[in-house]
A = this chain, B = another copy of it.
Amino acid sequence: MGIVVMKFGGTSVADADKIRAAARRAVQAKRRGYQVVMVVSAMGDTTDRLEELAAQVHPNPPRREYDQLVTTGEQVTISLMAMALDAMGCPAISFTADQIGMVTDDVHSKAKIKRIDAQRIRRELAAGKIVIVAGFQGVTEEGAVTTLGRGGSNVTLVAIAAGLGADVCENYTDVDGIYTADPRIVPNARKIARISYDEMLELASLGATVLHNRAVEFAKKYDVPIHVRSSLHNRKGTMIVAETEEMERIVVSGAALKKQLARVTLSRVPDRPGVAASIFYALAAGNIVVDDIIQTQTSPTVAAVSFTVDLPDLSEARRVCLELCKRMKGMTATFRDDLAKVSVVGMGMRVHTGVAKRMFAALAGAGINIRNITTSEIRISCIIDRAQGPEALQLVHDAFALGRKRRAAGRKR
């Protein structure tokens, strides 16, 4: 008998009706002959409410206590889900992370899973129960409660699926799957049937919030295919899987727009070893996440270093960089707060040529100025003015025939 692990995010368990709907899905899977494990998040805005409570007593709560607090959100959902299943006549048992030995390191609020006691879950599955596991949480060797950071419930999903050697791993959410572009911006965006872990990682970095990087990395490491699908209907969503040779035939799988981008440019940076390191060390100390970095030598002794950051991080980045300019004679900093990044992602780029050319031509044809270009093995990104972002995304999406209407054309290419 196969094992299915299904995860329901906060919006999919936001009230009693939704909890019942999720429970029904689990019962259906059980009737089809599966052993079923559910991973659930906190209901709706529960975590926000708990954070508000914390803010009322501490401006910057100790992380151990913060984790002890917010993990109650998932504990509420697991017990309600077990009750809902029991009310349907289906035996069920709920587990906190502690109760199934989901042991993590002790980095509170960003813990990494070390191991899971799969036997505890297997025993209850063998007894015919549906097992419900609290997402997002873990426990240290010493018994302190930890949380797994943003997207943590998906990490739990993948970890449980890997630990049990599950046959199916389903992520029920409020979207239909992964799209070739954000459908709110690109109306003809198409749902992707299958996508590789690496492509998903690139899209997640570019702002696809359905699955965060850590969950995808975990799935890739343990080769756990994830089915991202809607909790509102039964249609198939997107399978995130290991790369196959076939995938390389598709040059570009998706396009993405990162809207809230800012750029810092440092000019007359002394071109000697250690300078770049000291710059990015100072930024890291300020807890600033740097996106792309572009360095060019502007003369034999000085360089220009540009990097992008999320817009909310700009003010802190500005403070750090102005401080650096005081310490490094001659160096100056300029800032832009009105940029965006449009990207295309695809395994096929490894073997196909002309992708960059086609992308740049699409943007140039509409008079969109490309301010910077960065690439990875399977991604090309252009930094442009924010005001042109949506248009650029649509242009690039069409240029690679990603949309529904041009699907046939895309296949012929």
Contacts and interface: CB of A to CB of B under 8 A. Distances in A.
A29 to B, nearest CB: 19
Given A87-B59, A98-B143, A144-B99, A65 B53 contact: no
A279 interface: no
A58 interface: yes
Number of copies: 2
B143 A99 contact: yes
Contact of A16 (B19, B53, B79, B99): B53
Contacts of A253: none
Given A56-B16, A68-B94, A99-B143, A61 B75 contact: no
Contacts of A50: 76
Interface string A71-95: 1100110111011101100000110
Which DSSP category, helix, strand, loop or mixed, fits chain A's interface? helix
Given A50-B76, A56-B16, A68-B75, A82 B62 contact: yes
B58 A86 contact: yes
A76 B53 contact: yes
Interface string A46-66: 000010011011110110111
A78 to B, nearest CB: 7
Given A19-B57, A65-B80, A99-B143, 12 more contacts: A16-B56, A16-B57, A57-B83, A64-B93, A66-B79, A66-B83, A68-B82, A68-B94, A68-B96, A69-B75, A69-B79, A72-B72
A194 interface: no
26 contacts: A16-B53, A16-B56, A50-B76, A53-B76, A54-B79, A54-B83, A57-B84, A58-B84, A58-B86, A65-B79, A65-B80, A65-B82, A65-B94, A66-B83, A68-B75, A68-B96, A69-B75, A69-B76, A69-B83, A72-B72, A72-B76, A75-B75, A98-B98, A98-B143, A99-B143, A99-B144
A59 B84 CA distance: 10
A75 B134 CA distance: 15
Given A53-B16, A98-B98, A144-B99, A61 B83 contact: yes
A64 B84 CA distance: 13
Given A53-B76, A68-B75, A72-B72, A83 B99 contact: no
Given A19-B57, A50-B76, A53-B16, A86 B99 contact: no
A87 B57 contact: yes
Interface of A: 16, 19-20, 50, 53-54, 56-59, 61-62, 64-66, 68-69, 71-72, 75-76, 78-80, 82-84, 86-87, 93-94, 96, 98-99, 143-145
Nearest to A93: B64
Nearest to A75: B72
Q: Which of A50, A59, A79, A145 has the most CB of B within 10 A?
A: A79
A352 B38 CA distance: 66
Contacts of A20: 57
Contact of A86 (B65, B83, B143, B144): B65
A129 to B, nearest CB: 11
A84 B66 CA distance: 12
A143 B94 CA distance: 12
A65 B76 CA distance: 9
Contact of A62 (B56, B62, B66, B86): B86
Nearest to A54: B83
A68 B99 CA distance: 11
Nearest to A71: B75
Contacts of A82: 62, 65, 68
Given A56-B16, A75-B75, A98-B98, A69 B62 contact: no
A299 B7 CA distance: 70
A87 B55 CA distance: 11
